Structure 1
Amino acid sequence: MKIPSFLFLFSLVFVSGLAASGSMAEERHVFLLIGQSNMAGRAAIEAEDQGEIEGVELWNIGEGKWELAQAPFNRYSPHRKDIKMQRLNCGPSFAKAWRDAHPGVKVGIVCSVRGGTSIEQWEKGRQEPWPLYDTALAATQTALAADSDSKLIGILWHQGESNSGASDAYPAKLKELIANWRTDFKNPELPFVFGQIGQWNPKYAAFNEMIVKQPTAIPHTACAMTDDLTAIDEAHFDSRSQRELGKRYARAMLELTK
C-alpha cells in the first residue's frame, strides 16, 4: 500500500522532533564539588532532603557510573571520613536550583571531599595524606568521558576553616588552585565559586573579609555569602543554612555563566 506523501513527511517531522527532544533531555551539566567538612555536609538530612532527586545525578566514583542523586552527596568520595559523618551539604539545593533554571537538562554532580582539610592539602600532585586533587580530577574526567552529552560547567569550592588563622596567605594559594583546575580542564575561563565560612564565629572574621574580595582578583569567580546563616556547632552550617547556601552558590554560578 502506498503511503500518502503528506503522512510520510509528517512522520519524518514527528520522529525528528522526538530525537531532538530526547537529545536535549540527555544533555548533562556537570559540576565538581570540593572542599572540607561543610562541603562534605555535617547537617541533618531532614524529611524534605530525603529520596532521589529528579533530574540530578551523582557520579559513583568507585563503580564509575551515574546514578540518581540523593543525600549525602559525599558518599562516594574515596577519601571521606566515616559514612555516618556524611550528611547534608549545599549540593542538593544547588543542583535543584540549577535544574530548575535549565529545563530539559540533567545535572551531574561529582563530589569528592574530605573534612578537616587545608587548602595546602588540595595542592596539585600532593599525595600525602591523601591525593585529594588528583582523585577529584580523575573522577571528573572519567565522568565526563562516560558519554558525549556531559559538559563541565563549573567548580564549587567550600573550604577555609582550616586556614582561617592564616588568611593573608590564602589568596595566592587559591589563585594557584584555580589556575591548576583551569589548566587541567583546558578551560581558562572555567567558572569557580567559593564561599564564606560561618559568620557566627569571630575566629572566621578575617577569612570572610578576605574571601569576598577574591572575585575582583581572580577572573570568572564569585563568592557565595553566608549572611544570616546559622550553625549546629562552632564550624558547621545547619540544615536550613545548607539549603540556602546551595541556592546562593547556584545564583553565583548562574551569574558567571550568563
Structure 2
Amino acid sequence: MANQIFILSGQSNMSGRGGVLHQRWNGVVPPECSPNPRILRFSAASKWEEARDPLHADIDASKVCGIGPGMAFANDLLPRLPDDAVIGLVPCAVGGTAIREWERGCRLYEEMVRRAKEATEVGEIKAVLWYQGESDTSSSNAAEAYGANIERLIRDVRSDLQLPSLPFIQVAIASGDKHHIEKVREAQLGLNMPNVVCVDAKGLPLNPDNLHLTTEAQVKLGGMLAEAYVKHYLTCVDH
C-alpha cells in the first residue's frame, strides 16, 4: 500500500478544472497524468485505489472536476523515489471555499484531518500541497486576514496530525478579484514559517473563465510542486 502520502487540499484549482468547459470535462488526460500502479488515491469512501484523474471527482462532488496538479506531481516525483516506493494521494480540496471554511472545527478542516489520519495507517505523510485563496480576494477584510489565517491553519494541521515539522507546499494564486489578489499573493509569498515553501502559479495559462488553470498549466504546476518537494525536502527527509 501507499508508503509516501501527500495531502492535496484547497479549492478548485487544486481539485482541478483543467479541460472543463461549460460544466463538462473533455476527458482528455495528458501523458504526464497517466495512471501508474504505484500511484494510489484515497477515495471518498476511505479506500485505496489506483489513482486516475479527475482525482477529486468524489470529493469536490457538487462541481465538475477535471485535471488538477496531483497526477502530474506524482508522476514527476515517482522516478526520484526508491524503486519500491508507492505514492498515496489524499484529495481533500473543495471548490469555492474561503480559508475561513478551513478553520479547525469546521467541516472541511475536520474531514481533511480525519482522512489524513486514516491514510497514515499504510504510510507516512510527506507533505501537504495547498492551493487556495481565490475566494479570499473577494473582500479587503478577507485578503488582509489571509496571512494570519494560513499560518493558523498550518500550525493546527501540524498539531492535530502530531507532525510538528510537516512540509507544507502552498501555491501562490494566479487568479482572483483584481482589487485584492495582490494582498493575498503577498501573504502567500511572504509566509515565513519553518518547512513552508511557496510555488508561484502567476502567469500559467487560464481557462476562458480567467479563474481556473488549463490542463497544460496544471501539468506545469504539478512539475513545479514536485521540484519544490525534491529541492526542499527529499534530500534531507528521505535519504
Question: 2:198 is matched with which residue?
Answer: 223
Question: 1:192 is matched with which residue?
Answer: 168
Q: Does 1:58 align with 2:41?
A: yes
Question: 2:14 is matched with which residue?
Answer: 39
TM-score with structure 2 setting the length: 0.85
Question: 1:68 is matched with which residue?
Answer: 50
Q: Is the 8 A contact 1:118 1:162 kept in 2?
A: yes
Q: Does 1:96 align with 2:79?
A: no
Whole-angstrom distance in 2 between the partners of 1:31 and 1:124: 20
* Cα distance change on mapping 1:186 and 1:229 into 2, 3 Å: same
Partner SS for 1:74? coil
How far residue 37 of structure 1 moved from its aligned partner, in angstroms, is 0.7
Q: Tell which structure's C-alpha radius of gyration is larger.
A: 1
Letter in 2 for 1:222: V
> Which of these residues, 114, 117, 123, is aligned with residue 141 of structure 1?
117
How far residue 202 of structure 1 moved from its aligned partner, in angstroms, is 3.7
Question: 1:48 is matched with which residue?
Answer: 30
How far residue 100 of structure 1 moved from its aligned partner, in angstroms, is 1.7
Aligned residues: 220
> Which residues of 2 match residues 161-172 of structure 1 at below 5 A?
161-164=134-137, 165=139, 166-172=142-148
Whole-angstrom distance in 2 between the partners of 1:201 and 1:248: 24
Give 5+ residue unaligned stretches, structure 1.
Answer: 1-25
Structure 1 stretch displaced more, 200-209 or 227-236:
200-209
Question: 2:23 is matched with which residue?
Answer: none
TM-score with structure 1 setting the length: 0.79
How far residue 255 of structure 1 moved from its aligned partner, in angstroms, is 2.4
How far residue 38 of structure 1 moved from its aligned partner, in angstroms, is 0.5
Whole-angstrom distance in 1 between the partners of 2:231 and 2:143: 26
How far residue 185 of structure 1 moved from its aligned partner, in angstroms, is 1.3
Partner SS for 1:195? strand
Q: Is the 8 A contact 2:18 2:218 kept in 1?
A: yes
Structure 1 stretch displaced more, 223-232 or 205-214:
205-214
Whole-angstrom distance in 2 between the partners of 1:156 and 1:88: 15
Identity of aligned residues (%): 27
- Larger RCO (alpha carbons 8 Å, 6+ apart): 2
Higher helix proportion (structure 1 or 2): 1
Whole-angstrom distance in 1 between the partners of 2:37 and 2:125: 20
- RMSD of aligned Cα (Å): 1.9
Runs (4+) off by over 6 Å: none
